[in-house]
């Protein structure tokens, strides 16, 4: 759940490491105004879980991984019969960036009368980051749980409305069940510029709660780098 403590501002040494800059790269290093707004004033945070027992529930992560998230949805059909998410509530155990990311996701999903279920299934961490104005590089992993928790809640909607053929199975082979990271996620991280296991962890959180999968992650990073960029030179 949201912390009462304010986010820690990057120090000057952090700034030199290049945590985050604005879209134009004209300003110094900082947490964007959007991140701070959604941390200090989180939207759609659920105070009373008992009031949402009838909502569709999605959960991802675990306290052992550092972040855990629950998402509650209400879905209704509009006048044209299109399924829209009319309400989204959430609770998360995590840092300020995780809180801001989830708050922004909830705002995106319910704005303008509610996002269609089909469009919500297409949301990815990059979409959340873009609306936040970015996150510090070391905090990007905080945005990767939201879209998965959202899809899990939509799957709960499909299950409870007997639309089993619409359930979305996470692509690829599961590598880290606690973080719900698949080999496809690792492949996308490599394509997005990750060159090492540590960089893949930053993007996906793989192996943070279950380090036993890291040898396999290392092999996959090596495989995908060779597949797309050629063998690394010794």
pLDDT value at residue 155: 94
pTM score > 0.75 for this model? no
Q: What is the pLDDT of residue 65?
A: 56
Beta bridge partners of 176: 181
> What positions carry a catalytic annotation?
65, 142
Domain boundaries, the chain: 1-169, 171-234
Structure confidence at residue 43 (pLDDT): 95
pLDDT in the model for residue 13: 35
CATH of the domain spanning 1-169, picked from 3.90.1010.10, 3.40.47.10, 3.40.50.920, 3.50.50.60: 3.90.1010.10
Which pLDDT does position 66 carry in this prediction? Answer: 62
pLDDT tens for each residue of 180-223: 899 889 988 888 889 999 999 999 999 998 899 999 999 999 98
CB of 94 closer than 8 Å to CB of 100: no
Distance, CA of 53 to CA of 1 (rounded, Å): 18
Amino acid 229: pLDDT: 78
Helix axes 144-160, 125-132, angle to 10 degrees: 130
Residue 209 makes CB contacts below 8 A (sequence gap 6+) with 62, 64, 65, 66, 176, 178, 179
- Write the pLDDT tens digit of every residue in 137-152: 667 766 778 888 999 9
Q: What is the pLDDT of residue 95?
A: 82
According to the model, what pLDDT value does residue 98 have? 86
Task: Report helix, strand or coil for 19.
Answer: coil
**Amino acid 38: pLDDT:** 93
Taking the C-alpha atoms of residue 75 and residue 79, their distance in angstroms, rounded to an integer, is 13
pLDDT of residue 173: 83
**Strands 67-77, 56-62: pairing kind:** antiparallel
Q: What is the CATH number of domain 171-234?
A: 1.10.10.1100
Q: What's residue 166's pLDDT?
A: 94
79 burial type by CB count under 10 A (0-12 exposed, 13-18 middle, 19+ buried) = exposed
The stretches in the chain having pLDDT less than 70 are 1-29, 62-67, 137-138, 141-142, 231-234
């Amino acid at each position: 759940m949201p912390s009462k403590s304010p986010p820690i501002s990057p120090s000057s040494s952090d700034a030199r490491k290049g945590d985050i800059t604005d879209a134009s790269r004209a300003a110094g290093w900082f947490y964007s105004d959007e991140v701070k707004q959604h941390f200090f004033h989180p939207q759609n945070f659920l105070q009373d879980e008992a009031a949402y027992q009838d909502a569709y529930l999605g959960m991802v992560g675990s306290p052992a991984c550092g972040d855990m998230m629950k998402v509650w949805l209400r879905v209704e059909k509009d006048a044209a019969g299109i399924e829209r998410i009319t309400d989204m509530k959430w609770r998360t155990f995590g840092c300020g960036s995780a809180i801001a990311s989830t708050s922004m996701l909830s705002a995106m999903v319910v704005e303008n009368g509610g996002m269609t279920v089909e469009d919500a299934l297409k949301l990815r961490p990059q979409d959340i980051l873009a609306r936040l104005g970015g996150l510090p590089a070391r905090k990007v992993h905080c945005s990767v749980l939201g879209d998965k928790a959202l899809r899990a809640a939509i799957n709960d909607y499909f299950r409870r409305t007997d639309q089993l053929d619409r359930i979305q199975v996470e692509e690829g082979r599961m590598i880290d069940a606690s973080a719900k990271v698949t080999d496809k996620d690792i492949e996308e991280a490599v394509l997005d510029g990750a060159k090492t296991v540590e960089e893949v962890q930053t993007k996906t959180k793989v192996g943070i709660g279950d380090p036993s999968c890291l040898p396999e992650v290392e092999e996959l990073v090596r495989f995908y780098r060779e597949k797309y960029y050629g063998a690394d030179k010794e």
